[in-house]
Amino acid sequence: MALVIVSILFYLAATGMLAAALRADPVSPSEGWRVPATLGLATHATVHIAAWKEVGGPDLHFFAALSLVGLGMAALTTAVAVRERVAALAVLALPLAAVLLGAYRAYGHAASMTLDWQQQLHAALALLAYATLAVAALLGVTLWVQERALRRREFHGWSRALPPLVQLESLLFRTIAVGFGLLTATLLTGVLFVQNLFAQHLMHKTVLSILSWLAFGALLVGRRRYGWRGATAVRWTLSAMALLVLAYFGSKAVLELILHRQVA
């Protein structure tokens, strides 16, 4: 419990420091927030490691998986902000990680799942893919909001904290490309290592994941061949992400929280 509270406090401190830094200088905010953010990430990861040791293996139930995705999103936004002018995204990702960690602690640990290293690799790739594509969804929403403000000639101070539209769009598609690669690896390892991938209770998860993969792939092809951008890119990104959320967390919510059946 103590580590959870410490991690949440670090996250909130980093969020407050970053918000203040962005108000003072939206273009080049001071980087002091990275210290509590990094400490928050480290303690967040330690909470999961300690839980796995306590239950004797991977703890990947609904709230644990959500917490791990939140950890991934916070880590990605903190890392990307080193080279890209997207520190403002961490204002959303860091408190989200804190909330998801708190939900995980409130729910408690589930029994350990019996997973061999191949299945653990599949699960790790899946969580990385979801975290990366969730960041892409955040970038998509940010791109849409920024474009909308420019069309309406509403120049807010927060817009200065974001890179120009062209750079933001480029970062969006680079993030989608990385996430698409991870999702591809997830599906491949699922086919190779998950024996019951097409069992009845996983069929909808598999189908929705493939549909999401096809949507992200179509978006990348559309970008390359037809120059898709702006609102079109955002709609495809959010639609594909919605399918992915339904595929994994929708199915886990039904199976684990309603039917009380444990799945990876």
Q: pLDDT per residue over 122-160, tens digit each?
A: 889 999 999 999 999 999 998 888 887 777 776 666 666
Across 185-191, average pLDDT: 90
Q: Residue 193's pLDDT is what?
A: 74
Task: Flag whether pLDDT at 200 surpasses 60.
Answer: no
Reported as a pLDDT band with limits 50, 70 and 90, residue 179 is very high
What contacts 46, CB < 8 A, 6 or more positions away? 3, 7
**Structure tokens, 55:** 């239950």
Query: If we measure between CA atoms, which residue out of 75, 78, 82, 101 comes closest to residue 8?
Result: 101
Q: Residue 109's pLDDT is what?
A: 65
Query: If we measure between CA atoms, which residue out of 210, 176, 218 comes closest to residue 190?
Result: 210
pLDDT in tens, 57-114: 778 888 999 999 999 999 999 999 888 888 889 999 999 999 999 999 888 766 656 6
Task: Flag whether pLDDT at 7 surpasses 90.
Answer: yes
Q: Residue 227, Cβ neighbours under 10 Å: how many? A: 9
- Residue bearing tokens 């990680």: 97
Across 14-30, average pLDDT: 89
Reported as a pLDDT band with limits 50, 70 and 90, residue 201 is low
Q: Residue 221's pLDDT is what?
A: 96
Across 202-224, average pLDDT: 91
Sorted by where each begins, the domain ranges of the chain are 1-113, 115-264
Q: Which own/partner contact pairs does 184-188 have at CB distance under 8 Å and 24+ positions apart? A: 184/213, 185/125, 185/129, 186/122, 186/125, 186/126, 186/129, 187/213
